[in-house]
């Protein structure tokens, strides 16, 4: 990081040198500290998952959850993923952290589905970096077997950027995961460099419409048309579609009228600690 700070500084000209150099060096030190702390966090089991309900828009029943990573720092502070996932990816720590997330989510999925007639799904977020590690498929397979988790209970959320990597290896990994029976879902749909051609090249079963599109459908006609187009596209391609970030009843009703079957968002619930999610699920 120190090297890259100097690299940038050199290209900024004399006047900017000191300011940018100092600024980036502080950032680099901070990053190294976070990295060290992340290693400890993993050892001391400071990670936990919160669960945000996935709701059927027709019945308003909870039919699943998305597992979202949190870091309970020893200082007592609960740290959100946007603060540390990037560093975990850069340092490779996302591999053991990701395995921990998958194992925890599978254990919970098993408990949730005990004695339930219809499957309750748990969605797990995967970083592109995890796919660059060749053991991903066998690691997921091992965790499913070890926990006794059925593939119907787990969804894997990936981003459009993964599909843009477009290597044979990633295509093969996604095919294997899909063939095992896991649902592959595209998170934040519409925010990446969407190339619609990948929708038939990759075994994608679900689109999650990004919050930025749902947030103003009720007062922005253009946004509403985009959401309607994504919903129609998904339905015509026989894929499930979930609206993310639903905050008002108006938005939920509108999405339902558009033919969007499922949603997540603060209207229904924010992500909850496991016990609270279980209580809500009933």
Binding site for ligand C2E (CB under 6 A): 52, 68-69, 80-82, 85, 101, 125-127, 157, 187-188, 211, 245-247, 264-266, 271
Decide whether 69 or 137 has the Cβ nearer to ligand C2E. 69
The minimum distance between CB 264 and Mg ion, in angstroms, equals 9
* Residue 99 or 188 with smaller CB distance to Mg ion: 188
Residue (of 181, 223, 220, 218) closest to 203 by Cα position: 181
CB of 154 to ligand C2E, least distance (A): 13
CB of 236 to ligand C2E, least distance (A): 24
For residues 63 to 102, the per-residue mask of contacts with Mg ion, x marking binding by CB under 5 A and - elsewhere, is ----------------------------------------
Instruction: Identify each DSSP E strand in 42-135 by its residue range.
Output: 47-56, 62-72, 78-79, 121-125
CB of 205 to ligand C2E, least distance (A): 17
Binding partner selected for residue 85 from Mg ion, ligand C2E, none, CB under the kind-specific 5 to 8 Å limit? ligand C2E
CB of 54 to ligand C2E, least distance (A): 11
Nearer Cβ to ligand C2E, position 9 or 62?
Answer: 62
Task: Determine the distance from the C-alpha atom of residue 253 to the mean position of all C-alpha atoms in its chain, rounded to a whole number.
Answer: 25
Among positions 104, 113, 121, 125, the unique one binding Mg ion when judged by CB under 5 A: 125
Residue closer to Mg ion, measured from CB, 99 or 157:
157
Among the listed residues 60, 155, 162, the one whose alpha carbon sits nearest the alpha carbon of residue 102: 155
Q: What are phi and psi of 268, to 5 degrees?
A: -85, -50
CB 101 within 8 A of CB 49: yes
Spatial separation of the C-alpha atoms in residues 174 and 176, rounded to whole Å:
5
Give kind and range of the element (H or E) at residue 98.
helix 94-113
Look up tokens 């004399």; give the residue: 14
> Least Å distance between CB 265 and ligand C2E?
3
87 binds, among Mg ion, ligand C2E, none (CB under 5 to 8 A by kind): none
Angle at 273 between CA 271 and CA 274, to 5 degrees: 110
Rounded to the nearest whole angstrom, what is the least distance from the CB of residue 108 to ligand C2E in the complex? 13
Tell how strand 62-72 and strand 78-79 pair up: antiparallel
For residues 103 and 241, what is the distance between their CA atoms, to the nearest angstrom? 26
Q: Residue 274: how many CA atoms within 13 Å on its side-chain side?
A: 12
Q: What is the DSSP letter of 80?
A: P
Q: Which does 271 bind (CB under 5 to 8 A by kind): ligand C2E, Mg ion, none?
A: ligand C2E
Tell me which stretch binds Mg ion (CB under 5 A): 138-146, 154-162, 223-231, 248-256.
154-162
Query: What's the CA gap between 257 and 157, in Å, rounded?
Result: 25
Contact between 188 and Mg ion by CB under 5 A: the answer reads yes
Site residues, Mg ion (CB under 5 A): 125, 157, 187-188, 244
């Amino acid at each position: 990081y120190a090297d890259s700070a100097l690299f940038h500084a050199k290209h900024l000209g004399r006047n900017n040198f000191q300011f940018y150099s100092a600024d980036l060096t502080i950032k680099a030190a901070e990053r190294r500290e976070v990295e060290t702390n992340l290693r400890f966090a993993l050892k001391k089991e400071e990670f936990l998952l919160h669960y945000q309900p996935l709701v059927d828009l027709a019945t308003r029943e909870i039919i699943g959850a998305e597992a979202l990573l949190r870091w309970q720092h020893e200082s007592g502070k609960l740290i959100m993923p946007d603060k540390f996932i990037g560093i975990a990816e850069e340092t490779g720590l996302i591999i053991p952290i990701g395995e921990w997330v998958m194992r925890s989510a599978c254990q919970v999925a098993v408990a949730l589905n005990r004695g339930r007639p219809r499957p309750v799904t748990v969605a797990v977020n995967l970083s592109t970096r995890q796919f660059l590690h060749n053991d991903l498929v066998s690691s997921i397979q091992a965790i499913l077997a070890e926990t006794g988790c059925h593939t119907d209970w787990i969804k894997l959320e990936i981003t459009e950027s993964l599909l843009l990597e477009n290597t044979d290896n990633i295509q093969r990994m996604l095919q294997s995961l899909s063939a095992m029976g896991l649902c592959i879902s595209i998170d934040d749909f519409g925010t990446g460099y969407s190339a619609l051609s990948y929708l038939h090249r990759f075994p994608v079963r679900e689109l999650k419409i990004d919050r930025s599109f749902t947030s103003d459908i009720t007062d922005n006609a253009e946004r509403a048309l985009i959401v309607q187009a994504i919903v129609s596209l998904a339905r015509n391609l026989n894929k499930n579609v979930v609206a993310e970030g639903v905050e008002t009843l108006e938005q939920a009703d509108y999405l339902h009228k558009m033919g969007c079957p499922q949603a997540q968002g603060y209207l229904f619930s924010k992500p909850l600690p496991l016990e609270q999610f279980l209580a809500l699920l009933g």
